[in-house]
């Protein structure tokens, strides 16, 4: 059952990655990457149960925090770069 959950989360992660690699504006991509990151946290947690190694939860916990800080950092960078230039238009 955990295998099914892991597989399902992997599918969601793959969809998010496809969305992020499609042409589009930069905010859509950050959104998809953010989703990929939070699903990674869930995946690590579920995988820890699948392999019966609850230590994985510590990694998931750390990853949840790192993901948040990473997204905010990327946003700051994009905000600064886009401060002068106009953004790519949607589609």
Partner 1 sequence: MSLVLDLVSWTMLLGGVFLGVSGAVGLFRFPDFYTRLHAAGVTDTLCAALILGGLMVQAGWSLVSIKLAFILLFLWYTSPTASHALAKAALRAGLGPRLAEKENPPSKS
**In whole angstroms, how close is the CB of 56 to partner 1 at the nearest point?**
10
- Under rule CB under 8 A, residue 73 binds partner 1: no
3-state helix, strand, coil in the chain (%, to 5): 80, 0, 20
CB atoms within 10 A of CB 27: 14
Q: How far apart are CA 34 and CA 23, in angstroms?
A: 17
**In whole angstroms, how close is the CB of 51 to partner 1 at the nearest point?**
13
Smallest CA-to-CA distance from 40 within 65, 75, 23 is with: 65
- Under rule CB under 8 A, residue 47 binds partner 1: no
Return residues touching partner 1 (CB under 8 A). 1-2, 4-5, 8-9, 11-12, 15-16, 19, 25, 27-28, 30-32, 34-35, 38-39, 41-42, 45-46, 49, 54, 57-58, 60-61, 64-65, 67-68, 71-72, 75, 78-79, 82-83, 86-87, 90
């Amino acid at each position: 059952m955990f295998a099914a959950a892991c597989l399902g989360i992997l599918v969601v992660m793959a969809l998010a990655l496809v969305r992020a690699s499609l042409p589009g504006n930069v905010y859509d991509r950050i959104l998809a990457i953010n989703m990929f990151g939070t699903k990674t946290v869930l995946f690590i947690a579920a995988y820890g149960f699948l392999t019966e190694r609850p230590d994985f939860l510590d990694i998931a916990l750390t990853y949840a925090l790192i993901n948040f800080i990473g997204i905010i950092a990327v946003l700051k960078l994009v905000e600064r770069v886009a401060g002068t230039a106009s953004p790519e238009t949607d589609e």
